Chain A
Amino acid sequence: MIADSQKESLAELNLLAQSKRQSILIEGPSGSGKTYLSKQYANMLSIDDCSIVPPKVSDIREALDASLSLDNPLMLVIENLDLGTPAASYTLLKSLEEPLPNVYIIITCRNIQGVPDTIISRSAVVTLSPPTLNDIDSYGKEKNTVKFNAVSSRLAWHCARSFSDADSVLEMNPDEIEYYESLAEVCKFKESVSTIVWKLGHYPSGKESNLELAIRSVIELMHNNFVTRCGVDCIRDLNRNRIAQHAVLAKFVFNAKYCE
């Protein structure tokens, strides 16, 4: 299924496929369908061999080395390059400059500012918008109508802002769906920061929760401009992945607890 937010990017990829462009950088927020679009690009070029590669020097090098011994058309999707080290980006440079005739490299990133200019200048950049709420509803309905009907009125679904969030909610059990509403108790901030941080990061069963959904649930439940601002900063810092998750969450809780 192609969402409205993806149509424009897909049209751009279509044009690039006509010229058989070998290096493309797809920029878009988390869960907006970057990897999905990469696979669509492989379909456009009739490439069956599509490998997803994490942004690590060793993995990229291994994938590039393996491509040398192959003759068939091959697509390497380097996921979230902005989360990798600069060395990971530089590993790709040579292959972007002088690509092998059968190798297509698609790079995805959440934040283009985290990608070196040398990579951007050697790639065709396609920007993907975040999905609209309608896109997410349509996606959920098509993926699992029964489950969608059961969760569409719940807080967890209302807080979903990406296709991966939607996938996550559709896979939750009733207790996990309930958990996001139960965060109202946490929002009273009677407990210590460390306890609240733990509760935001875990379901009562001890399994790790979807942090972004948990933060958005707190924002929804509190209806407070300051907490909303802190929550947005928290999600941004979580996505940047520069500072340890527990520290990012603790900052949010400290602010929400003591600054109002």
Chain B
Amino acid sequence: MITIQELGLSIMSHSPKPFYAVGGSEYGIKDKYIDTLTQHYGKKEEYPSVSDCIDFLSVKHLIKVHPALYVIRYDENFVSSIDVETSRKIRSLRNIGTIFCVYSDPKHIAKLDKFIPEFTCSVDAVDFKYIEKYLHKDFPGLDDRSIKIAAKCSSNYGHARTICKSMINANPEILAKMPEDSIIKLFGCGTTSVESDIQKAIAGRNFVQAVNLIESYEGDFDSLIYTVLQTMIELEKILTSKYSESDLKDYVKFWKIEDIYHMFMNGYDQLEKLRSNTSTDVKSSLIYLFGLFTFKDVPSTEVMNSDC
């Protein structure tokens, strides 16, 4: 298999090979190479399958076919049918331009690598500094801050390029005034929830928000049960000593001491069940606990554990 550097060098130096099978998750780089090859040949054609394309190029044409770029996307039949004969045919291709096959499944690339290793490449994660470099080249009109934000938003060059395309069409004055975090959030990046957000949703008895937040939580769910207990202890502290300083002070109006007590006991009960029964799912336990917010009075563990 050739490396991404070898692939890039052959394409960027305008000496492309007649065939490439390119896989990997980095779709932006694949698009970039397709654009470069299109510019090189001045013509791009999409074919449904490699065999159709090779058949077309193998026959003699009355009017000479000029070298062009032929793009074939996700042709699984080619992968399953490739053999020594096909690889020989591919190696004998001359002056036809370039056949560029795009794949995403690593298994396909592994199979192709056995027969045509000199034409196969997997383009996966690209180094952060290369993404920035490529973006600067692609979007010369975009300022350095915006490029850095796009690169920070995604480790995928294709995704970062899409973000740059959006930013270049935005009002530059408004963009310049917006804080970095807001721009990152605007593009749906960096939105993984943190424990303090979840604690506020618990303190605010907001079932929908709490459930949504755990969907984007990447930490240990088990620790969130302790967050429920910790929140109840904190709320009890605010209720007991009015002078206590806490970020949760504004939420204490949603709670009576009985609710705090029952919520703590239900949380503890769920922890005990999780520890004694391995089939209990932590996430389900959390959603169960959040569901108790929706009651006007939080039910006791006795009520919740009773059969009727």
Residues of A that sit less than 8 Å from B by CB? 191-195, 197, 242-244, 247, 250-251, 254, 258
| CB–CB B261/A192 < 8 A | no
| CB–CB A247/B268 < 8 A | yes
- The total of chain B residues at the interface (CB under 8 A) is 18
Known: A243-B271, A244-B226, A247-B229. A258 touches B261 (CB 8 A): yes
Determine the chain A residues whose CB is within 8 A of the CB of B275 once the complex forms. 242-243
Shortest Cβ gap from B217 to chain A (Å):
19
Determine the chain A residues whose CB is within 8 A of the CB of B233 once the complex forms. 192-194, 197, 250
Known: A192-B237, A193-B233, A195-B237. A243 touches B272 (CB 8 A): yes
Interface of A is mostly: helix
| CB–CB B244/A254 < 8 A | no
Shortest Cβ gap from A240 to chain B (Å):
8
Asked whether B265 is an interface residue with its Cβ less than 8 Å from the other chain, the reply is yes
Q: How far is the CA of A242 from the CA of B268 in the complex (A)?
A: 11
| Sample (10) of A-B pairs whose CB atoms are under 8 Å apart | A191-B240, A243-B275, A247-B226, A250-B264, A251-B265, A251-B268, A254-B261, A254-B264, A254-B265, A258-B261
B14-38 residues with Cβ-Cβ distance < 8 A to A are none
| CB–CB B257/A192 < 8 A | no
Known: A247-B226, A250-B229, A258-B257. A193 touches B265 (CB 8 A): no
B257-299 residues with Cβ-Cβ distance < 8 A to A are 257, 261, 264-265, 268, 271-272, 275-276
Interface of B is mostly: helix
| CB–CB B268/A194 < 8 A | no
Q: How far is the CA of A255 from the CA of B226 in the complex (A)?
A: 18
Determine the chain B residues whose CB is within 8 A of the CB of A243 once the complex forms. 268, 271-272, 275
Determine the chain A residues whose CB is within 8 A of the CB of B132 once the complex forms. none
Q: How far is the CA of A251 from the CA of B232 in the complex (A)?
A: 11
Shortest Cβ gap from A248 to chain B (Å):
8
| CB–CB A251/B264 < 8 A | yes
Determine the chain B residues whose CB is within 8 A of the CB of A242 once the complex forms. 272, 275-276
Determine the chain B residues whose CB is within 8 A of the CB of A194 once the complex forms. 233-234, 236-237
Residues of B that sit less than 8 Å from A by CB? 226, 229, 233-234, 236-237, 240-241, 244, 257, 261, 264-265, 268, 271-272, 275-276
Q: How far is the CA of A250 from the CA of B229 in the complex (A)?
A: 9
Determine the chain B residues whose CB is within 8 A of the CB of A251 once the complex forms. 264-265, 268
Q: What 6 additional pairs, Cβ within 8 angstroms, besides A192-B244, A251-B268?
A: A192-B240, A192-B241, A244-B226, A250-B264, A254-B261, A254-B265
Determine the chain B residues whose CB is within 8 A of the CB of A250 once the complex forms. 229, 233, 264
Q: How far is the CA of A112 from the CA of B272 in the complex (A)?
A: 19
Shortest Cβ gap from A43 to chain B (Å):
38
Determine the chain A residues whose CB is within 8 A of the CB of B257 once the complex forms. 258
10 smallest A-B Cβ distances: which pairs?
A192-B240, A192-B237, A242-B275, A194-B233, A194-B237, A193-B236, A258-B261, A251-B268, A247-B229, A243-B271
Shortest Cβ gap from A165 to chain B (Å):
26
Q: How far is the CA of A258 from the CA of B233 in the complex (A)?
A: 13
Q: Which of B234, B237, B271 contacts A247 (CB 8 A)?
A: B271
Q: How far is the CA of A244 from the CA of B275 in the complex (A)?
A: 11
Shortest Cβ gap from A172 to chain B (Å):
29
Shortest Cβ gap from A1 to chain B (Å):
38
Shortest Cβ gap from A231 to chain B (Å):
16
Q: How far is the CA of A244 from the CA of B271 in the complex (A)?
A: 10
Residue of B nearest to A250 (CB): B233
Output the residue of B226, B233, B237, B265 with the most chain A CB within 10 A: B233
Determine the chain A residues whose CB is within 8 A of the CB of B240 once the complex forms. 191-193
Q: How far is the CA of A43 from the CA of B229 in the complex (A)?
A: 48
Shortest Cβ gap from A201 to chain B (Å):
13
Shortest Cβ gap from B106 to chain A (Å):
32
Determine the chain B residues whose CB is within 8 A of the CB of A191 once the complex forms. 240-241
Determine the chain B residues whose CB is within 8 A of the CB of A193 once the complex forms. 233, 236-237, 240
Q: How far is the CA of A195 from the CA of B261 in the complex (A)?
A: 16
Determine the chain A residues whose CB is within 8 A of the CB of B244 once the complex forms. 192
Determine the chain B residues whose CB is within 8 A of the CB of A247 once the complex forms. 226, 229, 268, 271
Determine the chain A residues whose CB is within 8 A of the CB of B226 once the complex forms. 244, 247
